[in-house]
Amino acid sequence: MTATMTPAETRRRLSESAAVLIDVREPDEHAAERIDGARLIPLGTIDRVPLPAAEGRAVIVHCKSGRRSQEAVSRLTARGVSAVSLEGGIEAWKAQGLPVVAPATKMPIPIMRQVQITVGVLSLAGSALAWWVSPLFIAVPAFLGAGLLFAGVTGTCGLAMLLSAMPWNAPLRAIGAGGGKACAVKV
């Protein structure tokens, strides 16, 4: 079982500079809202990036609801780093009325939802065209399926990188979203 810390205790430790807070969500989630002072290290990179110097302070990891942060604590423990998970994640933090930092402008749809929408629309269109126009259009959903397979195996999603370069995603590019992000179809 992963060690946890309540939002109230986490806030107390942060206010006393007795903790380092790591956000393991994706860059677009972090850009939409974050706990002030949290350092973004997405879960997919937690094994290979340098961690902030704790210097005797507690290392607290958070995500949206606590599931990803528990996985991050397990990975950090395997690296020899003592860490705890913020109980309930940023959702529990907000539920207790604790402050979050949010941009003044509305963020675009998260990259992964953009990928899901694009793959869905193109798959439906390709299938419909294969049914009514020419069987050769079956190549469209087949190409998309191969792209998702490639993304799952390599952890790199070309469609996410392409979408992150679109003009409506300029706020996300400022914080590095999309680079090397894996496509995922979340259910």
Token output for 14:
């942060």
CA dihedral 26, 1, 152, 129 (to 10 degrees): -80
- DSSP H or E stretch at residue 22: strand 19-23
* CA separation for the pair 184, 111 (Å, rounded): 10
Q: Please identify which of the residues 63, 112, 160, 182 carries the catalytic annotation.
A: 63
* Cβ neighbourhood burial of 163 (10 Å; 0-12, 13-18, 19+): buried
63 is catalytic: yes
Within a 10 A sphere around the Cβ of 11, how many other Cβ atoms?
19
Q: Looking at this protein, which amino acid is placed at residue 143?
A: F
User: β-strand 58-62 against 4-5: which pairing, if any?
Assistant: unpaired
CA dihedral 143, 144, 146, 152 (to 10 degrees): 160
Bridge-partner residues for 9, per DSSP? none
Contact call for residues 75 and 51 (beta carbons, < 8 A): no
* CA separation for the pair 156, 22 (Å, rounded): 23
Which residues does the annotation mark as catalytic? 63
